[in-house]
Amino acid sequence: MKDFQIFLIGDDAVAVQPSDRIVRHPLARSLRSSGEWVDVVPGKEIVAAQFNPASLSPKDAVRRMEAWLEGFHADSDQEGEVVDLHLDTSSPNALDLEHLAASNELSPAAFLEKVTQSDLVVDMLGFTPGFAYVEGLDPVLKAERLAVPRQRVAAGSVGLLQGQLGLYGLSGPGGWPIIGRLTNRLFDLHRERPFLLTEGTRVRLNLMGR
Amino acid sequence: MSFEVLKPGIQATLQAAPRRQMRHFGVPASGPADPLSMALANKLVGNAVDECALECPLGMVSLKARTDCSIAITGAQVAAHIGNRGVGMHRTLVVMAGETITIGAPEAGARVYLAVAGGFAGDEFLGSRSTCLPAGFGGLAGRALKTGDIISTNTIPIAPSALETPDRMQQEFQHSYALRCVPGPDADKIAGWEAHQDFVATRRADRTGIEISGSWPKPDQAAMKASSPVFPGAVQLTPAGAAFVLLPDAQTTGGYPHILQVARVDRHLLGQIRPGERIHFLLRSPDDAARELREKLEFFWDWLPDLML
């Protein structure tokens, strides 16, 4: 099967790597609705399906996945909804902005303009509750993970690596350089929809008070 | 029906069934770190194996019963008292209103489980009552116990019968662990490494994972990968040259090299490892690990017909 690679990532999860990574999300949705897997989780390149090895041997899980993929056709992704987010880049909330802008030979304002004018889309949630991996960032902006992760970044913090943003749903440890903090709550357990964003959400970043 | 918390212990939480189908929102499964011990406790008070119970890392919890009830204590080997009476583990115990249950510090093993007939009444969120400490939901207001908390229980006060865990099913924890595991997806990216040596659990340990020191290979930058799904039991190498094995509250995706996966057959033991204890990894093929899981489950199904690990 040339369009997909299938491999085990343990004794209780099988991974599918589509040759076209865009296929991950329709694939994950379809696997989830098949009801045959305990949990279905997309990553940046693969989709992992967890199974119970007491009732399905790993070998049979791989076979089941192979057979299922024979009949799988990716439906086209619908256009995601647009969510406006408000970014506070005042200095206590934008710990690494000055440094990142300087290393990219831009003023902070010019750096932020490239961020906000990028075509930003949530690729997936993962890591911790509500953490959003956002793609589409202007690739001219360069940044690397911090050499030493911070023990705590505030909920709503916006991290930046080349080509992507990471939106922290919760306070906690974080290794991405931080350019600001959202005033929107990405995760609120008292809301009917606790998660503000989901895969495919188009994000419009609006700068506040700068 | 309820208990008053006199001594809260260290990060004691209410745990029940794992949270399913939420990992793609970044929400971990949570649930007991040692599901076998929790299942044994629930059995003794007539509950389903995954009924909401109290998980007490390193014990040291004291509760005052406000009504008569049946309880059971399992997990890490520990001295326990009801009032002044020393009471055994692995049996149904009756507590009278006003009496105090005191759990000491375990001699071996890390987590003590206390179940009550009918189960504790934790907050249900996203399909489970298990506490998720990193996100602050489920269980008792999404957090660990505090002195003065009142924890409510569901309605059945006394277990229907007095039971004792069969001797052969009582786990006895030592100070070293042999854990069956299978290769992780990045095992072949790390050359010249042998699983067959002893490693040591460090003090960096909580419900998200345990750091394991030893002669791990140091991954180079090329071994870092795009964020990929990880599940409890994953052993990931860190840039600092240690490894982390993931527990039920761990992150759902990660980019560090995933070189081993502790197999389900022994994953429940991760919840009992203490700082300084030795860990030995026993490599299996995935199908062999699954067969050994079924053998272990069949052994316990005589007593716990609804057990899953």
pLDDT score, position B189: 75
Q: Is the predicted pLDDT of residue B96 greater than 70, yes or no?
A: yes
Among A12, A17, A124, A191, the residue to mutate for chain B (most B Cβ within 10 A): A12
Six token digits for residue B299: 């052994």
> Which candidate, B235, B233, B169, B182, places its Cα nearest to that of B36?
B169
Q: Which residues contact B29 (CB under 8 A, 6 or more apart)?
A: A39, B18, B19, B20, B22, B23, B130, B232, B248
pLDDT classification of A1: cutoffs 50, 70, 90: very low
pLDDT at A76: 72
Cβ-based burial of B194 (10 A; exposed 0-12, middle 13-18, buried ≥19):
exposed
User: Is B129 near chain A, with CB under 8 Å?
Assistant: no
Distance from C-alpha of B82 to C-alpha of B101, rounded to nearest angstrom: 5
**Which B positions 92-111 lie with beta carbon below 8 A of chain A?**
none
Alpha-carbon distance of B215 to B222, in angstroms, equals: 20
In chain B, CATH 2.40.100.10 sits at: 176-301
Which residue, among B33, B106, B34, B280, has the nearest Cα to B177 in the 3D structure?
B280
The answer, yes or no, to whether residue B195 has pLDDT greater than 70, is no
Report CB contact under 8 Å: A9, B289. no
Residue B163 reports pLDDT greater than 80? yes
- Which H or E element spans position B265? helix B264-267
CB B226 within 8 Å of CB A43: yes
Alpha-carbon distance A147 to nearest alpha carbon in chain B (angstroms): 10
Q: What percent of chain A has pLDDT over 70?
A: 98
Residue B121 has pLDDT above 70, yes or no: yes
SS3 A137: coil
Is the pLDDT confidence value at B216 over 70?
yes
Chain B contact for A161, CB < 8 A?
A: no
At B130, is the pLDDT very low, low, confident or very high (cuts 50, 70, 90)?
very high
Residue B258, beta-bridge partner list: B236
Give the distance between the most distant pair of CA atoms in chain B: 61
How would you label B129-165 residue by residue, b for 16+ Cβ within 10 Å and e otherwise? bbbbbbbbbbbbebbbbeeebebebeebbbbeeebeb
Report the pLDDT averaged over residues A103-130.
95
List of domains in chain A:
4-70 (3.30.1360.40), 82-208 (2.40.100.10)
Chain A residue with minimum CA distance to B24: A41
Does residue A28 belong to the interface with chain B, where contact is any CB pair within 8 Å? yes
The minimal CB distance from B25 to the residues A13, A38, A125 is found for A125
Tell me the average pLDDT across B17-37. Answer: 97
Which residues, including other chains, have CB under 8 Å from residue A140's CB and lie 6 or more apart? A104, A114
Residues of A in contact with B254 (CB under 8 A): 127
Residue at B91: amino acid letter: R
- Kindly report, residue by residue over A159-184, the tens digit of the pLDDT: 999 899 999 999 988 889 999 999 99
Which residues in chain A are closer than 8 Å to B27, comparing Cβ atoms? 129
- Percent of chain A beyond pLDDT 90? 84
Task: Give the CATH fold of the B176-301 domain.
Answer: Cyclophilin (2.40.100)
- Are the CB atoms for B246 and B208 separated by under 8 Å? yes
Q: Which of B50, B41, B175 is nearest to B106 (CA)?
A: B175
- Statement: residue B223 has pLDDT above 70: no
Q: Are strands A132-135 and A164-167 parallel, antiparallel or unpaired?
A: antiparallel
Looking at residue B221, its pLDDT comes to 67
What is the share, in percent, of chain B residues with pLDDT greater than 90?
86
Dihedrals phi, psi of B91, to nearest 5 degrees: -150, 155
Sheet holding B93-95, edge to edge: B13-15, B53-57, B108-116, B69-77, B93-95
Say if residue B192's pLDDT is above 70.
no
- In total, chain A counts a number of residues equal to 210
What is d(CA A126, CA A133) in angstroms, rounded to the nearest whole number? 8
Tell if the CB–CB gap between A54 and B136 is shorter than 8 Å: no
For B162-170, what is the mean pLDDT? Answer: 96
Q: What is this structure's pTM?
A: 0.94
Residue B199 pairs in a beta bridge with B279
Q: Which A residues 5-24 touch B at CB under 8 Å?
A: 7-13, 15
Confidence of residue A113 (pLDDT cuts 50, 70, 90): very high
Smallest Cα distance from B14 to chain A, Å? 18
Average pLDDT, chain A: 93
B224-259 CB burial, b ≥16 within 10 A, e <16: ebebbbbbbbbbbbebeebbbbbbbbbbbbbbbbbb
pLDDT score, position B154: 87
